[in-house]
Amino acid sequence: MPERRRGAALEKALLDAAWEELADNGYAGFTMDAVVKRAGTSPPVLYRRWSDRDELVRAAITQALREHRLDIPDTGSLREDVLTLMREINATRVQLIIVMSVHLAACHKATGTSTGDLRDPLVTGRKEALDVLFDRAVERGEIKREHLPERVKSLPFDLLRHEILTTFAPVPDDVLEDIVDTVFLPLVR
């Protein structure tokens, strides 16, 4: 007989099952019953925590974002910091990006939300993390703060996401270097 899960372990198992269901079937095919079956539990266990699928989807996404949090590199060079971060995203977050962008399109339509609305601001901290990376480059004298509007800061990562969503696969390293060397760095220098 399998060990009975309780508390945080049970909640994590339920949210993992919900995330897997989203990744495999998208929002359109996502049901509470499918999550119950995948988690090996009963409907009351699930409904005690989340009253409907939108609430469960939001919780599953929040957990996935928490679990996929990345450390900001400090290589001593803006080029290498950006490339290191892009390589880490490329190696570990392709499925997350695809699920968040493609599989949740029906969710956005049904609920009137966007991917940004589903993110927990305490989890993501993306802007603040990137600010640290760029502040270091300014302090090292590599770039000037006035060359760093928000759109430019996010550009290499936006282009990486675009490449992933165009191919549904990790991006070749030479493309990452091309994004940084021929598009991004000329804008900030």
pLDDT tens figures, 141-178 = 999 999 899 999 999 999 999 999 999 999 999 999 99
Same domain? For 175 and 124 the reply is yes
Same domain? For 37 and 126 the reply is no
- Res 117: pLDDT: 61
Same domain? For 77 and 139 the reply is yes
pLDDT confidence tier of residue 116, bands split at 50, 70 and 90: low
Same domain? For 43 and 92 the reply is no
Same domain? For 102 and 162 the reply is yes
DSSP H/E element including 89? helix 78-92
Same domain? For 151 and 109 the reply is yes
| Token reading at 56 | 């469960």
Same domain? For 46 and 109 the reply is no
Average pLDDT over residues 15-25: 92
| Token reading at 156 | 């290499």
Please tell me the distance from the alpha carbon of residue 53 to that of residue 172, in angstroms, as a whole number: 36
Residue 119 confidence (pLDDT) above 70: no
- Domain extent at residue 20: 7-64
Question: What's at 97, amino acid-wise?
Answer: I
Same domain? For 41 and 105 the reply is no
- Res 59: pLDDT: 92
Half-sphere exposure for 178 (CA within 13 Å, toward CB): 8
Q: Lowest mean pLDDT: which of 11-25, 71-85, 108-122?
A: 108-122
CATH of the domain at 41: 1.10.10.60
| Token reading at 143 | 């770039």
Q: Tell me what percent of the residues of the chain surpass a pLDDT of 90.
A: 60
Average pLDDT over residues 12-17: 95
Q: Tell me: the pLDDT tens digits for 69-91?
A: 788 999 999 999 999 999 999 99
Same domain? For 103 and 30 the reply is no
Same domain? For 80 and 164 the reply is yes
Average pLDDT over residues 36-56: 94
- Res 79: pLDDT: 98
Same domain? For 47 and 90 the reply is no
Residue 49 confidence (pLDDT) above 70: yes
Sign of CA pseudo-dihedral 19, 22, 24, 29: positive
| Domain annotation covers residue 15 | yes
- Counting the structural domains of the chain, the total is 2
- Res 126: pLDDT: 67
| Domain annotation covers residue 1 | no
Which DSSP letter does residue 179 get? I
- Res 3: pLDDT: 63
| Domain annotation covers residue 2 | no
Same domain? For 30 and 78 the reply is no
pLDDT confidence tier of residue 125, bands split at 50, 70 and 90: low
CATH of the domain at 171: 1.10.357.10
Burial 85-109 (b: 16+ CB within 10 A, else e): bbbebbeebbebbbbbeebbeebee
| Domain annotation covers residue 145 | yes
